[in-house]
Amino acid sequence: MEKAVLFEVRDEIAIITLNRPEKRNSINRELLAGLYDAIEEVSRNENIKVGIITGNGKSFCAGIDLSVIGKENLFDIRGNGIDLPDIFGSCRKPLIGAINGHAITGGFEIALNCDFLIASDNAMFADTHAKVGIHPGWGMTQLLQQAVGKRRAKQMSLTCQFITAEEALKFGLVNEVVPQENLMNRTIEIAKQICENKYDMVITVRDLINYRDTASMGQALAHERERFRRFVKKNMPSLKGSE
């Protein structure tokens, strides 16, 4: 029996593939545990610089497998209070979503927790929490409005309607839309571009961008400035006090 999540490393890039294609990669306990393990491997493996999350088959992830609701614990699978946003949040390395096909509700939340998204031209996105009567818990109400704006997020989440890849691009939800057959090649190309840079500074810049999520603009600017001063003091002592 194949694993619910496949993990492959190509050079310095990890490819994490949700692998329940017969169920449109819907979320059960096994898939969630495999995803957690894969992201944690990206975090701790010094030979991995970037992770890519995608789906096998015609969908990225169709959300929670409704047949396991009430049968499987999907919100604290390890019994330690660590949930999906915690797993993503503890990974300091870039995670790119390569969105092939449908990303629905819980699957959409997995995508939103990535740093950014590249979509195939047949990708579709929908938040259907209000349609199926499941309370959002993996960041939908905050991450969607962060991506597309408060008013657009309200329309998407309250109507539960699908949007196309091209609409997602127009709304700022995805960074690029490419033909389905080019999706992985293009995403890997972007990951390689990240790997080619000074990696310690890649991590630093990513941290600084994410710092804005929990701080005001003034606080974030001050934080960047302080980090810069420390950098100069450590790496360029001759420039200390020259700015």
Domain that holds residue 187: 5-195
What confidence tens digit (pLDDT) does each residue in 34-71 have? 999 999 999 999 999 999 999 999 999 999 998 898 88
Residues 144 and 213 reside in one and the same domain? no
Residues 210 and 136 reside in one and the same domain? no
Residues 91 and 205 reside in one and the same domain? no
What confidence tens digit (pLDDT) does each residue in 152-203 have? 999 999 999 999 999 999 999 999 999 999 999 999 999 999 999 999 999 9
CATH number of the domain encompassing residue 157: 3.90.226.10
77-86 contacts at long range (C-beta below 8 A, 24 or more positions apart) = 77/29, 77/32, 77/33, 77/36, 78/36, 83/137, 83/138, 84/32, 84/35, 84/36, 84/109, 84/110, 84/113, 84/138, 84/139, 85/113, 85/138, 85/139
Residues 186 and 209 reside in one and the same domain? no
Residues 212 and 188 reside in one and the same domain? no
Residues 184 and 229 reside in one and the same domain? no
Please give the tally of structural domains in the chain.
Answer: 2
Residues 16 and 65 reside in one and the same domain? yes
* pTM (2 d.p.): 0.94
Residues 74 and 145 reside in one and the same domain? yes
DSSP string, 168-203: HHHHTS-SEEE-GGGHHHHHHHHHHHHHTS-HHHHH
